[in-house]
Amino acid sequence: MNSNSQRPGAGGPKTNAPETTGRSPTFALVMLGVVAVGVIIAYQHFTKPPPPAAPSTAAPASGEDAASVKPLPAPAAQEPEVASMPEPPAVQVPAKHPARPPRSSTSPPPAPAPPLGPESAPSQQLIAGLTQLKLSDTGLTAEQAQMVSDSLKQIVAQGGAAVPAIREFLERNQDLSFGTPAGRPGAGPSSLRLGLIDALAQIGSDEALGLSRQVLQTTADPLEIARLTRNLEQQAPGQFREEALAAAREALAQAAQGQLGNRDVAPLFQVLQAYGDASVVSDLVTSTPRWNYYATMTLANLPEGQGVPTLIQLAQNTGEITSTKANFPLQMLAQVAPQFPEAQAALLEQARANRIPDSAWTGIAIALAGDQFQLGYQYLDSNFAVPQGPGLKTYHIVAGNQNYFSTAGPMTFTKGGPAGWSDEQIAARQTLIDQLLAVNSNPTAVQALQRARNSLPQPKP
Q: Is the distance from CB of 186 to CB of 225 less than 8 angstroms?
A: no
Length of the chain: 461
pTM of the predicted structure, to 2 decimals: 0.73
pLDDT at 385 (0 to 100): 62
Q: Residue 107's pLDDT is what?
A: 47
Helix, strand, or coil here: 393?
Answer: strand
Whether residue 175 contacts residue 94, with contact meaning beta carbons closer than 8 Å, is answered with yes
What's the one-letter identity of residue 339? Q
8 A C-beta contact, residue 412 and residue 375: no
pLDDT at 62: 37
Q: How many angstroms separate the CA atoms of 284 and 332, rounded?
A: 15
Per-residue pLDDT of 427-439, as tens digits, reads: 999 999 999 999 9
From CA 245, how far away is CA 346, in angstroms rounded? 30
**What are the phi and psi torsion angles at 120 (to 5°)?**
-90, -5
The pLDDT assigned to 137 comes to 78
What are the distances in angstroms from CA 265 to CA 101, 220, 293?
Answer: 18, 10, 12
Interatomic CA distance for residues 253 and 458, integer angstroms: 47
Task: Pinpoint the alpha helices (H) of 112-179.
Answer: 121-131, 142-157, 163-170
End-to-end Cα, the chain, rounded Å: 107
β-pair type (371-375, 402-408): antiparallel
Q: Amino acid letter at 343?
A: A
* pLDDT score at 166: 97
Q: Whole-angstrom Cα distance, residue 445 to residue 366?
A: 12
Q: Write the single-letter amino acid at 213.
A: R
Rounded Cα distance between 85 and 89, Å, is 5
Find, among 455, 456, 404, 408, the residue nearest to 428 by Cα: 456
CA–CA separation, 275 and 237 (whole Å): 11
pLDDT score, position 457 = 82
Helices 423-438 and 443-455 cross at an angle (nearest 10°) of: 170
Task: Give how far Cα 385 sits from Cα of 183, 186, 313, 335, 382, Å.
Answer: 6, 11, 32, 22, 7
Q: 341: cis peptide before it, omega within 30°?
A: no
Maximal CA-CA distance, the chain: 146
Q: What contacts 24+ positions apart, CB below 8 Å, involve 332-335? A: 332/296, 332/297, 332/299, 332/300, 332/367, 332/373, 333/300, 334/363, 334/364, 334/365, 334/367, 334/368, 335/300, 335/367, 335/371, 335/372, 335/373
- Residue 114: per-residue pLDDT: 60
Residue type, 255: A
User: In the structure, how many helices (H) and strands (E) does the chain have?
Assistant: 18, 3
pLDDT of residue 161: 96
DSSP 357-379: -HHHHHHHHHHHTTEEEEESSBT
pLDDT at 83: 32
Q: Name 374's bridge partners.
A: 405
Contact 396, 294 (CB under 8 A): no
pLDDT tens, residue by residue, 201-234: 999 999 999 999 999 999 999 999 999 999 999 9
From residue 449, alpha-carbon distances to 5, 361, 365, 424, 430 in Å are 99, 8, 5, 19, 10
pLDDT value of residue 94? 40
Which residues in the chain land under pLDDT 50? 1-23, 30, 39, 42-43, 45-95, 103-107, 183, 185, 319-322, 324, 413-418
